[in-house]
Chain A
Amino acid sequence: EVQLVESGGGLIQPGRSLRLSCAASGFTFDDYAMHWVRQPPGKGLEWVSGITWNSGTLDYADSVKGRFTLSRDNAKNSLYLHMNSLRAEDTALYYCAKGTSSNLYGSFDYWGQGTQVTVSS
């Protein structure tokens, strides 16, 4: 059974940094691209970032480019999102999602339950 478990969220002040983690199990992690998708309270989904199976290609939404850094550790079956210079508009439930292919041109077929990030002073 595919499982994605996010952690690392919390209440953080504007301008500070936070690192989210996603622990994956139930599939061959290094065969697939991985993504982060976020959902602000009461709003829709927004793709944040994606990384190919071998970390060869990373893409970011314009809203986070230059502030967020995505990485993965295939030996630990883990995905990470380093978030710097956090803003109030980054407040959201952050989902880890498995891609359907090794590159970034696939859908998101499994999702974790999300980790809440709240940016507020």
Chain B
Amino acid sequence: QSALTQPASVSGSPGQSITISCTGTSSDVGSYNLVSWYQQHPGKAPKLMIYEVTKRPSGVSNRFSGSKSGNTASLTISGLQAEDEADYYCCSYASSSASWVFGGGTKVTVL
């Protein structure tokens, strides 16, 4: 299974908005609304931030939003805060392998 493609790093100043892209293929991101995003702070377990492309779990700040266009999904963090500094991973169901595939991860730095 090929990993989804994410930028290695994205940075922004407090209060700014940033967007992380996640590029897959027509067999994964492009075929299903089963894209999710996870936040992982150092030494901690991942936390679900967005599921089914656009949905936010209870308790997740509305500063986090998701979208998808074609084979590319995106996570936008608005009003960037210091606590948003973490690694972010996208994930999608992949029909070609009947399994789940993650992106390589994006390190978000708050300047």
Contact = CB atoms under 8 A, between A and B. Distances in A.
Contacts of B102: 37, 44-47
Contacts of B103: 44
B107 to A, nearest CB: 11
B79 to A, nearest CB: 24
A113 B57 contact: no
Given A47-B101, A107-B91, A111-B45, A61 B34 contact: no
Given A44-B89, A47-B91, A62-B1, A111 B99 contact: no
B36 interface: yes
A95 interface: yes
A112 B104 CA distance: 21
A108 B48 contact: yes
Interface residues on B, range: 20 to 34
B46 A107 contact: no
Interface in B39-64: 40, 45-48, 51-52, 57
Given A44-B3, A111-B47, A60 B99 contact: yes
A93 B102 CA distance: 16
Given A107-B48, A107-B51, A111-B47, A59 B105 contact: no
A105 B97 contact: no
29 contacts: A35-B100, A44-B3, A44-B105, A45-B38, A45-B91, A45-B102, A47-B101, A50-B99, A59-B99, A61-B97, A61-B99, A62-B97, A62-B99, A105-B32, A105-B34, A107-B34, A107-B36, A107-B48, A107-B91, A108-B36, A108-B38, A108-B48, A109-B51, A110-B48, A111-B45, A111-B46, A111-B47, A112-B45, A114-B45
Interface of A: 35, 37, 44-47, 50, 59-62, 95, 100, 105-114
Interface of B: 1, 3, 32, 34, 36, 38, 40, 45-48, 51-52, 57, 89, 91, 93, 97-105
Given A44-B105, A45-B89, A107-B36, 17 more contacts: A35-B100, A37-B46, A44-B104, A45-B46, A45-B91, A47-B102, A60-B99, A61-B1, A106-B34, A107-B52, A107-B91, A108-B36, A108-B38, A108-B91, A109-B48, A109-B51, A111-B47
